[in-house]
Amino acid sequence: MHRHLLQFFLAGALCALLAPAVAAPAKDAHWVAAWSASMDSPGPRLSDQTVRQIARVSIGGSAVRVRLSNLYGDGPVTLGPVHVAVRAEGSSTVAGSDRELRFGGKSTVTIAKGGSALSDAVTMEVKPLQELAVSLHVPAGAAPGPSTLHNAGLATAYLTEHGDATAATSYPGTEVHGSRFFLSDIQVAGPAERHAVVAFGDSITDGVGGQQNTYERWPDQLAARLRADPALATVAVANAGIGGNRVLNDNFGPSAQKRFDRDALDQPGVRWIVLLEGINDIGGSGQPATPKDDVTAEQIIEGMKALIARAHARGVKIYGATLTPFGGAGWPYHSSRNEQKRQAVNAWIRSGGAFDGVADFDQATQDPAHPDRMLPAYDSGDHLHPNGAGFEAMAKAVDLKWFAH
């Protein structure tokens, strides 16, 4: 063989060996939001560190991609490499399951301030309710400002003190953190058409009151109910809860009005939304920072109507969830004035006819002897957030017939 021709074939063989060991997903794959964490705050700056995050996807598929966010950065951030693998236990992964995620074919990506980046797809068989480990490296000096976080991760994130450990099966990091770093979405695809329900809400949807690393949140338990029904195998659940979130005004994270497109309507495959918001609008009116925070029940209802109109304009059904009891939660939440607002909002959700259906979380969690209070067995202890049993009761109050095709 001619020397130059031999060099050509050897170079091609070497490239084949160095290329990812998985083929690109089929172009006709149907993508859906299988997991999400709405970004809500700036966090600690990372430098030459790897963070490994565990996420349980709500639906299976044959391909994976992730979205990284720089929503709260004060300038551009460079991230990478980024890897995804099947979790074994703790911070370790299953040998042979690791895949490198690329961005436009590159191992690193620079994300502008306030922006996000969707990775290229990688072929990977994922099972429903399977735990994945997403590991990302922040190069030295690549994130000069704060990291973008989802504050209440309700899951342990593992960090190295330094170095790229994204491909490590046995993770060397010893630091832990309770937030999500940069990772806002995990999407999966398969040959069959699939759709998502987005649970859009505040800390009660986010899972505050449940135990860490247990998947007790009501959207997690709804996903488990869906997986138990073979007829609903193509329905995913994405959690868009933010602690402290409000319908009308910014508080902790942008208001529902500002984030509704990004965190709900723009999710791939979204067909349904369950809206549970308003408690923090009511609580904020008990301690108004400004006069505009002293909102009325009518203003909250008008804010919900605006969200309903935006969902319907996109062909998405939206279901209203009644506000859970907060009697005993104390100032600024519970007062006779605020309870009247909660009752007025709930009465409209139930009978106003604006939503496509109602999940009566109030009825599911209240103490029959004291309807303004949560049933003690469902109370996390602060009289505002349910515990795991309370979240289970909420998940059971969601009508699965809504999601039948």
Please state, for a pLDDT cut of 70, what percent of the chain lies above it. 93
Domains of the chain: 35-185 (2.60.120), 194-403 (3.40.50.1110)
Residue 370 clears pLDDT 60, i.e. is over it: yes
Q: Which residues of 143-164 are buried (b: 16+ CB within 10 A; e: fewer)?
A: beebbbbbbbbbbebbbbeeeb
Structure tokens of 105?
């074919």
Which of these ranges, 115-119, 165-169, 202-206, 284-288, has the smallest mean pLDDT? 284-288
- Rounded to 10 deg, the angle between the 336-351 and 297-313 helix axes is 30
Query: What is the tens place of the pLDDT at every residue in 350-362?
Result: 999 999 999 999 9
| pLDDT over 90 (residue 16) | no
For the chain, how many helices (H) and strands (E)? 9, 23
Predicted pLDDT of residue 225: 98
Return the structure tokens found at 193: 């058409």
| Residue 167 Ramachandran class (φ > 0 left, ψ -120 to 50 alpha, else beta) | alpha
Mean pLDDT of the region 224-243: 96
Q: How high is the pLDDT of residue 8? A: 33
Tokens of 73: 């950065």
Q: What's the pLDDT score for residue 405?
A: 66
State how far the Cα of 255 lies from the Cα of 206, in Å rounded to an integer: 15
Compute the distance between CA of residue 139 and CA of residue 107 in angstroms, rounded to an integer: 12
- What per-residue confidence (pLDDT) applies to 143? 77
Distance CA 291, CA 284 (A): 10
| Euclidean distance between CA atoms 194 and 186, whole angstroms | 15
Contact 246, 255 (CB under 8 A): yes
- Please report which confidence band the pLDDT of residue 26 belongs to, taking 50, 70 and 90 as the band edges: low
The pLDDT-based confidence of 22 (bands split at 50, 70, 90) is very low
Among 293, 49, 270, 230, CA closest to 147 = 49
Rg (CA), the chain: 22
| CA distance linking residue 364 with residue 387, whole number of Å | 13
Q: Is 74 helix (H, G, I), strand (E, B) or coil?
A: coil
**pTM for the whole thing?**
0.93
Q: Which of 122-131, 203-212, 248-257, 303-312 has the lowest average pLDDT?
A: 248-257
With CA atoms as reference, report the closest residue to 184 among 87, 271, 117, 107. 117
Q: Any idea which residue has 């994300």 for tokens?
A: 111
Sequence length of the chain is: 405
Is 138's pLDDT higher than 50?
yes
- Mean pLDDT, residues 317-334: 95
> Is pLDDT above 50 for 229?
yes
Residues 6+ apart with CB under 8 A from 347: none
List the beta bridge partners of residue 186: 35, 66
Beta-carbon neighbour count of residue 16 at 10 Å? 9
**48: its two tokens:** 């030459």
| Averaged pLDDT for residues 167-178 | 95
- Can you tell me the distance from the alpha carbon of 365 to that of 344, in angstroms, rounded to the nearest whole number? 18
